Amino acid sequence: MPELPEVTTIVKGLQHKIIGFRIKSVWTDYKKNAKNLNLLKGKVIKKVTRRGKNILIYLSQDYILLIHQKISGHLLLGRWILKNGVWVPMQNNGISLDRVNNYIHFMITFDNGEMLALSDLRKFAKIIVGKKQDIESLKELVSLGKDPFDKTFTKTWLIKKIEHNTRSIKQVLMDQTIIAGIGNIYSDEILFDAQISPLRKANSLTGVEIEKIYKSIKKILKLAIRYKGTSVSDFRDINGYPGEFSKMLKVYNKKSGKCVKCHSDIKTIKINGRTAHYCPKCQK
């Protein structure tokens, strides 16, 4: 599932491209996960932001288009033509060169001819259109925790949130009601960078250890954004290209790999049903 760096990559790409575009038409073959798409026609794109793993596209007349890409979804910007029920790309770039971009189930056409598509192999992505106050008050947005790049996300705040929590630190980092945007990939990489075992109970960590985690959160997420996210499987940027941070992963998905620091075997375990990867020698 795209996490904070991947969603930020998409949002930044759209911010530089679609502001001011007017929606001419909308197509979808979603039956369950799309709501009120009839409200999109004629609206103008005003702003694109991120909230946790959600993309919020602010529209004219006080509407918002919310897109959660879920497990395999990613947004693409380009031009397509519909042939025999299949969207065929008209540009020769990452969109046309990578088959993971071919599973299009949602398409917006703008009045200037540009198009915004959602490619989603598993068809789990969620799309909702509504009035600004209705979307912003959705439980899934209101319940989100603090964003790692919010000014109020401080070392002191993190210590208070962690020091009495009895769950594993990996579970805490992935809890969207505490910190919004961190999932399986970046919790593994953050804890490796901080040299903390994912098995540690959060309330066993010292202030110094929590400060290390805080610094690693900032460091790893910023680096991943710089390299346009991680593409382990389906994620691509708006031009259809994979994220480059995949090449920089130290432990995530390294099931039979060696630690880059001590050359010990990377260990894979389950924590509350989620897979964790770590070095048992470096991470204590």
SS3 state at 179:
strand
- Is 155 annotated in the active site? no
DSSP label at residue 60:
G
Tokens of 264: 């010990």
Catalytic residue among 2, 5, 198, 242: 2
Angle at 26 between CA 77 and CA 45, to 5 degrees: 60
**Is the sign of the CA dihedral 71, 105, 226, 143 positive or negative?**
negative
Catalytic residue among 22, 132, 274, 280: 274
SS3 state at 174:
helix
Catalytic residue among 43, 53, 161, 250: 53
**Is the sign of the CA dihedral 208, 213, 216, 222 positive or negative?**
negative
- Is 47 annotated in the active site? no
**Is the sign of the CA dihedral 154, 224, 269, 144 positive or negative?**
positive
Non-local CB neighbours of 223 within 8 Å, separated by 6+ positions: 245, 248
- Is 114 annotated in the active site? no
Instruction: Characterize the bridge pairing of strands 73-78 and 115-120.
Output: antiparallel
**Rg of the chain on CA atoms, in Å:** 20
Catalytic residue among 3, 6, 189, 209: 3
Give the CB-side neighbour count of residue 137, counting CA atoms within 13 A.
Answer: 6
Q: 54 φ, ψ to 5°?
A: -95, 140
- Is 281 annotated in the active site? no
Positions marked active-site: 2-3, 53, 274
